[in-house]
Amino acid sequence: MLSKKTKYGIKALTYLAKRKENCPVQISEIAGHENISVKFLERILLELRKAGVLDSKKGKGGGYFLARLPKDIPMTDIIRTLEGPIAMVPCVSLNFYKKCDDCKSEEVCAVNKLMIQVRDSSLQVFKNTSLQDLINY
């Protein structure tokens, strides 16, 4: 299940992407428009800034803005930044692989084979969907 953190991050990013100009927007404006706690949104936007999805400007007229064009921000960047691994189990993760403690052999594990299919299907959707696609819906 998608966490509230990721859901709110996507909502905030789509709000920024829909703006005609890519100028700084204060957290309070985004939070008010999307009905998100300012404190919670602040932490989310900071993570997205550290990941290079957003940039920020301090001082008067400051706020957050997209660091790249919406078409250049794939959902994989957002999901991995806010949610972590796309895979549902660590033994099939491409970026966060870890052997499962309870598994004798990944080669014969039915869960592993199923989760590879789930990962690959999800990854295709996230890779092929950009922030631009979301604002075009």
Show which of 39, 66, 93 is a domain's final residue: 66
Q: Which domain holds residue 81?
A: 73-136
Residue 137 confidence (pLDDT) above 90: no
**Is the CB of residue 11 less than 8 Å from the CB of residue 5?**
no
Show which of 26, 49, 66 is a domain's final residue: 66
State pLDDT tens for residues 59-110: 888 999 999 999 999 999 999 999 999 999 999 998 889 998 888 888 889 9
Res. 36 pLDDT band, cuts 50 70 90: very high
Q: How far is residue 12's CA from residue 99's CA, in Å, rounded to a whole number? A: 35
Task: Extract the tokens encoding 125.
Answer: 């959707």
**Is the same domain home to 42 and 95?**
no
Residue 93 is predicted with a pLDDT of 92
Instruction: Provide the CATH number for the domain around residue 20.
Output: 1.10.10.10
**Is the same domain home to 62 and 77?**
no
Residue 50 is predicted with a pLDDT of 97
**Is the same domain home to 62 and 34?**
yes
**Is the same domain home to 44 and 87?**
no
**Is the same domain home to 39 and 22?**
yes
Considering the chain, what percentage of its residues have pLDDT values greater than 90? 80
Total domain count, the chain = 2
User: At 54, is the secondary structure helix, strand, or coil?
Assistant: strand
**Is the CB of residue 16 less than 8 Å from the CB of residue 64?**
yes
User: At 11, is the secondary structure helix, strand, or coil?
Assistant: helix
**Is the same domain home to 62 and 93?**
no
**Is the same domain home to 117 and 89?**
yes
Nearest Cα neighbor of 17 from 76, 67, 58 is 67
Q: How far is residue 127's CA from residue 78's CA, in Å, rounded to a whole number? A: 11
pLDDT, mean over the chain: 94
**Is the same domain home to 92 and 130?**
yes
